[in-house]
């Protein structure tokens, strides 16, 4: 009912009353006519004017934001969020309870978020720059990093939002270390080349010295070239990371080709390669990258294996959907603490040995990225004093009906 309807109804009632008294007073023939006019008037007064009939209804008032709906809203957020009232935790979503514990509800917020930087910010009446984060290192586990943001609400409460920066921080660290390592690796041979150029300028007339210095300069330049080639390979493989390779690659044939190439580079050592080849289907892959994978893994076994000892390369079907490549060497092996880090860029167990053998420290990082792009699996196992076995599983181009797991 509109606000105008109430007085209008009262007036209509008054008209009916007056009409009834008039009809009672006259009580004659006119009584019927008076009553009729009165009723008509009353109906006219009581009915709303035409504009009131067409006026749009006022929009319904929004439902009041209750405490329950605030709880539901924060529950829908995947990162930890807490509602604080009078410095106590009034509500905390699941992510916050998982991080800080179920007991935090009702607790003093400084006890709930046990971190000195958080306590300082939460105690301060100064809101600081709105949205400016406070960095919390070691909240949750020791290596976790969080960004905490606090916002005041109209009702005097505060909302605390924590966002996990652990992954982003680790990625930043890797990028910074990578640039520093790559610069260092390039600067060392470059400094050597520049030094020899200067010395050559002084001793240019001694042909023997010249030849010796030029040989060293050539070696250092080739080291720089290998490093640049590996850096470019890594960035190309990473750029193609999300594009699945789609060539059909015959690994047995590719291995024969790589073996010839290795024999041309290091005939004595390549002679120790023993092939253990099964009946394997083609794999779904990138031919150039798989050739690089063979070069790096078999090349490592040749470099780090004991001279004269065999390097055994196996190719077999693994179930119906995968092909297994194994490369086994006989060597002093790798201590277990190094194994998880071997695929990190520039990680070497023995730097001087790697450099002496022409290593860049990027070979296994490249292998890992190639295997990931091929949706395969890489495993490096080693027994100290016995040797190392690198296993790579790659998806077959087509499933092999009835093939057995080996
Ligand atoms: P590098 O160019 O130094 O060989 P990689 O990335 O290929 O770099 O390998 C990283 C490190 O892992 C090597 O420096 C070496 O210490 C160790 N490594 C790799 N393969 C073998 C192996 N077959 N036997 C022993 N150590 C190995």
pLDDT in tens, 127-183: 556 668 999 999 988 889 999 999 988 888 899 999 999 999 999 999 999 999 999
* Overall average pLDDT of the 274-292 stretch: 96
pLDDT recorded at residue 140: 87
User: Does any ligand 1 atom lie closer than 6 A to the CB of residue 349?
Assistant: yes
What is the residue with the minimal CA distance to atom 8 of ligand 1? 361
User: Does any ligand 1 atom lie closer than 6 A to the CB of residue 312?
Assistant: no
Between residues 121 and 369, the one the model is more confident about:
369
Q: Which residues contact 247 (CB under 8 A, 6 or more apart)?
A: 284, 285, 286, 287
CA 282 to ligand 1 centroid distance, Å: 28
User: Does any ligand 1 atom lie closer than 6 A to the CB of residue 334?
Assistant: yes
pLDDT band at 61 (very low <50, low <70, confident <90, very high): low
Residue with tokens 């690659």: 249
Residue with tokens 């990225």: 369
User: Does any ligand 1 atom lie closer than 6 A to the CB of residue 292?
Assistant: no
User: Does any ligand 1 atom lie closer than 6 A to the CB of residue 359?
Assistant: yes
User: Does any ligand 1 atom lie closer than 6 A to the CB of residue 389?
Assistant: no
User: Does any ligand 1 atom lie closer than 6 A to the CB of residue 361?
Assistant: yes
Measured in degrees and rounded to the nearest 5, phi and psi for residue 208 equal -65, -45
pLDDT recorded at residue 52: 46
DSSP per-residue letters across 113-168? S--HHHHHHHH-S---STT--EEEESSSSTT-EEEEEEEE-TTS-EEEEEEE-HHH
Residue 404 has pLDDT above 90, yes or no: no
Between residues 198 and 67, the one the model is more confident about:
198
Which long-range contacts (C-beta less than 8 Å, at least 24 apart) are formed by 257-260?
257/291, 258/291, 258/294, 258/295, 258/298, 259/298
Report the share of the chain in percent with pLDDT over 90: 67
pLDDT recorded at residue 72: 85
pLDDT band at 123 (very low <50, low <70, confident <90, very high): confident
| CA 362 to ligand 1: nearest atom | 6
The CA distance from 41 to 29, in Å, is: 20
Residue 45 has pLDDT above 80, yes or no: no
CA 377 to ligand 1 centroid distance, Å: 18
What is the torsional sign of CA 281, 284, 286, 290?
Answer: negative
What is the residue with the minimal CA distance to atom 3 of ligand 1? 361
Between residues 395 and 152, the one the model is more confident about:
395
pLDDT in tens, 291-316: 999 999 999 999 999 999 999 999 99
pLDDT recorded at residue 41: 43
| CA 301 to ligand 1: nearest atom | 23
CA 349 to ligand 1 centroid distance, Å: 7
CA 361 to ligand 1 centroid distance, Å: 7
**55-59, 272-276, 289-293: range with lowest mean pLDDT:** 55-59
pLDDT recorded at residue 69: 78
pLDDT band at 37 (very low <50, low <70, confident <90, very high): very low
Between residues 250 and 49, the one the model is more confident about:
250
Q: Which of 299, 302, 311, 342 has most ligand 1 atoms within 8 Å of CB, for mutation?
A: 342
pLDDT band at 91 (very low <50, low <70, confident <90, very high): very high
Task: Determine which helix (DSSP H) or strand (DSSP E) holds 51, and give its type and residue range.
Answer: helix 50-54
User: Does any ligand 1 atom lie closer than 6 A to the CB of residue 350?
Assistant: yes
CA 355 to ligand 1 centroid distance, Å: 10
The CA distance from 292 to 366, in Å, is: 8
Q: Torsion angle, CA of 116/118/120/125, rounded to 10 degrees?
A: -170
CA 109 to ligand 1 centroid distance, Å: 50
User: Does any ligand 1 atom lie closer than 6 A to the CB of residue 286?
Assistant: no
Q: Where are the alpha helices (DSSP H) in 203-246?
A: 207-239
CA 283 to ligand 1 centroid distance, Å: 26
The CA distance from 215 to 219, in Å, is: 6
What is the residue with the minimal CA distance to atom 24 of ligand 1? 304
């Amino acid at each position: 009912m509109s606000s105008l309807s109430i007085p209008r109804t009262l007036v209509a009632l008054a008209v009916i009353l007056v009409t009834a008294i008039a009809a009672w007073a006259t009580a004659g023939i006119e009584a019927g006519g008076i009553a009729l006019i009165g009723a008509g008037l009353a109906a006219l007064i009581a009915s709303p004017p035409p504009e009131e009939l067409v006026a749009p209804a006022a929009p319904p008032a929004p439902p009041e934001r209750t405490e329950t709906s605030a709880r539901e809203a924060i529950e829908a957020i995947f990162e930890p969020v807490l509602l604080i009232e009078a410095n106590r935790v009034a509500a905390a979503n699941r992510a916050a309870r998982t991080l800080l514990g179920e007991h935090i509800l009702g607790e003093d917020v400084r006890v709930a978020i046990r971190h000195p930087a958080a306590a300082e910010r939460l105690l301060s009446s100064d809101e600081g720059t709105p949205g400016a984060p406070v960095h919390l290192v070691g909240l949750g586990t020791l290596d976790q990093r969080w960004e905490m943001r606090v916002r005041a609400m109209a009702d005097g409460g505060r909302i605390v939002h924590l966002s996990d920066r652990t992954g982003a921080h680790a990625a930043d660290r890797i990028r910074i270390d990578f640039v520093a390592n790559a610069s260092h690796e390039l600067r060392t041979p470059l400094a050597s080349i520049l030094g020899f150029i200067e010395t050559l300028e002084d001793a240019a007339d001694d042909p023997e010295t010249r030849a010796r210095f030029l040989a060293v300069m050539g070696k250092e330049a080739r080291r720089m070239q290998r490093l640049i080639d590996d850096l470019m390979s890594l960035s190309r493989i990473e750029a193609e990371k999300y594009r699945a390779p789609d060539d059909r690659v015959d690994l047995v044939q590719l291995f024969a080709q790589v073996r010839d190439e290795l024999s041309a580079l290091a005939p004595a050592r390549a002679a120790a390669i023993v092939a253990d080849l099964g009946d394997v289907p083609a794999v779904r892959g990138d031919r150039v990258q798989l050739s690089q994978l063979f070069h790096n893994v078999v090349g490592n076994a040749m470099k780090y294996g004991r001279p004269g000892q065999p390097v055994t390369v196996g190719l077999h079907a693994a179930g119906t959907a995968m092909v297994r490549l194994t490369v086994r060497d006989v060597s002093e092996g790798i201590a277990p603490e190094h194994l998880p880090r071997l695929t990190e860029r520039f990680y070497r167990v023995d730097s001087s040995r790697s450099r002496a053998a022409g290593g860049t420290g990027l070979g296994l990082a490249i292998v890992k990225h190639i295997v990931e792009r091929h949706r395969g699996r890489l495993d490096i196992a080693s027994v100290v004093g016995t040797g190392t076995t690198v296993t790579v599983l790659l998806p077959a181009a087509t499933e092999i009906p009835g093939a057995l797991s080996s």
